[in-house]
Chains A and B, each alone.
Chain A
């Protein structure tokens, strides 16, 4: 048992190192995230002019939501995992895992976890640096129960994020080109995951529908718990249940695709 854990610990450590090497990449992405935040600030402060609140939340609460969104994105977002998996399938690198006692899902998940640990910690630097500028606009609710419910939600969101990327990556067993599909699903995620606007601003019935889709639990759910957009603990408990359900479904789909895909897969050359 311990030796199995050691195996993936090694993968995790290698992942950490390779992520620290590509610091520049991170810096570029962080920089754009900051610009995006400027757009958000300008747009929403214009929308709030003359309105004390929108959808029951004031400007500070909405802005806090978008800041938290960026931080959480760097902590759990699956950025190019699907692409990496697709590449490994297409150029045959995946064959080495078929011959070794390594579980591909666990291997990939270890790399994902190490990558998010690095970016998740690094994103705190610009947040801390700009905090004096931001602090007048941030309103973070300080209820301890938000942490107790938000952290499990965050963890499950991470698994869902990775799981969806994993499934898309495995599509490469069937299709040569998955880039188009990936971007399409990204657009869907950013809309239904609440990255374009907080989902609670949708008309009530649409908001209700979105709560039954996996995207809601990918990003919006934990962020809304932490930033006070969701405030009813019992409703959040129900949400956690649905989230756990989606997590299991997505993991099962991933496992199914992996088994089916391998049957199609042919390893050529040496």
Chain B
């Protein structure tokens, strides 16, 4: 019944991804390197960032977004009554097949760039890449759920959508481009840059244990924080009657 809708949204995402790839191509028409990254290295980075984003959109986005509205309207009761972890139940209710289809496109951008760069990654590097992508999804998931959890206190989490997309813009930039204050905020304090840079770097320059440990540490930390805040919020939830 919603085939047309699926098609349009899949097209929308595909087009947005093309826009990002095009921007890289246009910039590299005029310069050889950006912060030390060549054209296809940059493509690989953008592809990785898009891949993580597609997975997040496909598996969690609609549910997380709906959660904010449900907390406000009182429909959140439904999840409390279910026999399972509330956070898990509330954030995994819906799948978006259009995003999942497009994750294949993002993956092919990564593979194509790797091919252009003549990369021959070891199985270890590919395994690490996959692991870091999963860690990236965990980090993005945690940050989003954390933001939406504020709806327990403020009943409105408007603008979260915009904030997520704005932050994800940062994840398409090479880490070396961040200097001074920007480096502290976007690389160290908020893990938006490292999420995409770490897997790309491992694929490009090989396995590096410290990087892996760093990202896994961040993922664990943010996830723990989110679970804590979510459960605190849950205690404040008082439903709504009308």
Give chain A's interface residues, CB within 8 Å of chain B. Answer: 25, 28-29, 32, 35-36, 38-39, 42-43, 45-51, 54-55, 177, 180-181, 183-184, 187-188, 190-191, 196-197, 201-203
Of B31-39, B137-145, B205-213, the stretch lying at the interface with chain A is: B31-39
CB distance from A118 to the nearest CB of B (A): 18
Bound complex: CA of A196 vs CA of B5, how far in Å? 26
Residues of A within 8 A of B8 (CB): 180-181, 184
Residues of chain B lying within 8 A (CB to CB) of residue A38: 182
Q: How large is the interface on B (under 10, 10 to 19, 20 to 34, 35 or more residues)?
A: 20 to 34
Known contacts A28-B158, A183-B12, A196-B19: A43-B29 contact under CB 8 Å: no
CB distance from B56 to the nearest CB of A (A): 18
A43, B12: Cβ atoms closer than 8 Å: no
Q: Is the interface of B mostly helix, strand, loop or mixed?
A: helix
B27:A32 contact, CB within 8 angstroms: no
Asked if B170 is at the interface (CB within 8 A of a chain A CB), the reply is yes
Q: Which of the residues B9, B26, B35, B169 comes within 8 Å of A202, measured between beta carbons?
A: B26
Give the complex CA separation of A42 and B159 in angstroms: 24
A36-B169, A183-B12 known; A197 and B31 CB under 8 Å?
Answer: no
Across-interface contacts of A42 in B (CB, < 8 A): 173, 177-178, 182
Give residues of chain B (147-189) contacting chain A, Cβ–Cβ below 8 Å: 158-159, 162-163, 166-167, 169-170, 173-174, 176-178, 182
CA A196 to CA B17, docked complex, whole Å = 12
Label chain A's interface by main secondary structure: helix
- Residues of B whose CB lies within 8 Å of any CB of A are 5, 8-9, 11-12, 15-16, 19, 22-23, 26-27, 29-35, 158-159, 162-163, 166-167, 169-170, 173-174, 176-178, 182
Contact A47 B31, beta carbon cutoff 8 Å: yes
Chain A residues near B177 (CB-CB < 8 A): 42-43, 45-46
